[in-house]
């Protein structure tokens, strides 16, 4: 048992709780996704022993191997990395959640390839809120149409949005970007989409994201160490 992973997890959980308290939110309104990319099955086992069940992965093949090695544990796997068309089948067959859907074609393939014996794939649409040119993510303008189309796919369940904003210079700027994501999220909800997940905030901007309404923070380094 790696005690530093257990200690890191309890520190991160305490930080989430403090950020919730500062924002006047219930600590149960924000869940923690432990980002285990590049770390082996043993690190995930240690985190599970310390009470963590949801894990995020970026690299599909690496994740599939890890998921196979950890089949004995009741873990929930989230794909948070870019998805090429030729990788959709692996994602549809092995993951519980996908945060990084940003094109209808990928969503359609995931829906077609989701095995019938598994529950619907839980999906967030990745939105490029701050307009970084080379970044993945759909533009805010194109988001409503994509969201409606994804919500209509039979083997996917649209749960919300995911963002990876650039690091801003000040906390106020960071919060402004997170607030834009929250506004897009609220707008989709007001159009009747039953969304409950805003996947927003990483090790560095967790508190700002929680202050602006994040419901799931994705933390790697602060749990597992430097990659």
* Site residues, ligand PLP (CB under 6 A): 35, 37, 58, 80, 164, 202-203, 218-222
Q: Least distance (Å) from ligand PLP to the CB of residue 91?
A: 14
Helix, coil or strand: residue 57: strand
Which residue lies nearer to ligand PLP by CB, 80 or 147?
Answer: 80
Q: At a CB cut-off of 8 Å and minimum separation 6, what does 52 contact? A: 9, 32, 34, 223
Which residue, 45 or 218, is less far from ligand PLP as judged by CB?
218
C-beta nearest to ligand PLP: residue: 220
Query: Of 17 and 148, which has the nearer Cβ to ligand PLP?
Result: 17
CB of 164 vs ligand PLP, minimal distance in Å:
5
Structure tokens at 113: 């390839």
Residues 6+ apart with CB under 8 A from 144: 187, 188, 191
Q: What is the smallest separation between the CB atom of 38 and ligand PLP, expressed in angstroms?
A: 9
Nearer to ligand PLP, 30 or 80 (CB): 80
Does an H or E element contain 68, and which?
helix 60-69
Pick between residue 100 and residue 111 the one whose CB is nearest to ligand PLP. 100
Minimum distance between the CB of residue 191 and ligand PLP, rounded to whole angstroms?
A: 26
Minimum distance of ligand PLP from residue 9's CB (angstroms): 13
- Helix, strand, coil percentages in the chain from 3-state DSSP, rounded to 5: 45, 20, 40
CA atoms within 13 A on the CB side of 196: 6
121 Cβ contact partners less than 8 Å away, ≥ 6 residues apart? 91, 92, 95, 96, 97, 98, 110, 111, 114, 155, 156, 157
We find the least distance from the C-beta atom of residue 176 to ligand PLP, in angstroms, to be 20
Closer to ligand PLP by CB, 191 or 221: give it.
221
């Amino acid at each position: 048992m790696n005690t530093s992973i257990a200690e890191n997890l309890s520190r991160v959980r305490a930080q989430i709780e403090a950020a919730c308290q500062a924002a006047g939110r219930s600590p149960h309104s924000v869940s923690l996704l432990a980002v285990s990319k590049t770390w082996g099955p043993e690190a995930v086992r240690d985190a599970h022993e310390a009470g963590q069940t949801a894990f995020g992965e970026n690299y599909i093949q690496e994740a599939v191997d890890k998921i196979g090695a950890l089949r004995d544990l009741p873990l929930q796997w989230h794909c948070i990395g870019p998805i090429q068309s030729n990788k959709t089948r692996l994602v549809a067959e092995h993951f519980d959640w996908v945060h990084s859907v940003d094109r209808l074609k990928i969503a359609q393939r995931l829906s077609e390839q989701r095995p019938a014996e598994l529950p619907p794939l839980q999906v967030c649409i990745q939105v490029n809120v701050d307009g970084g040119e080379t970044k993945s993510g759909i533009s805010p303008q194109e988001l409503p149409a994509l969201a409606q189309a994804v919500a209509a796919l039979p083997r996917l369940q649209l749960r919300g949005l995911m963002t990876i904003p650039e690091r801003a210079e000040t906390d106020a700027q960071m919060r402004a970007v997170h607030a834009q994501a929250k506004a897009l999220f609220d707008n989709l909800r007001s159009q009747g989409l039953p969304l409950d997940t805003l996947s927003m905030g990483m090790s560095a901007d967790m508190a700002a994201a929680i202050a602006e309404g994040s419901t799931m923070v994705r933390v790697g380094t602060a749990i597992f160490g430097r990659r």
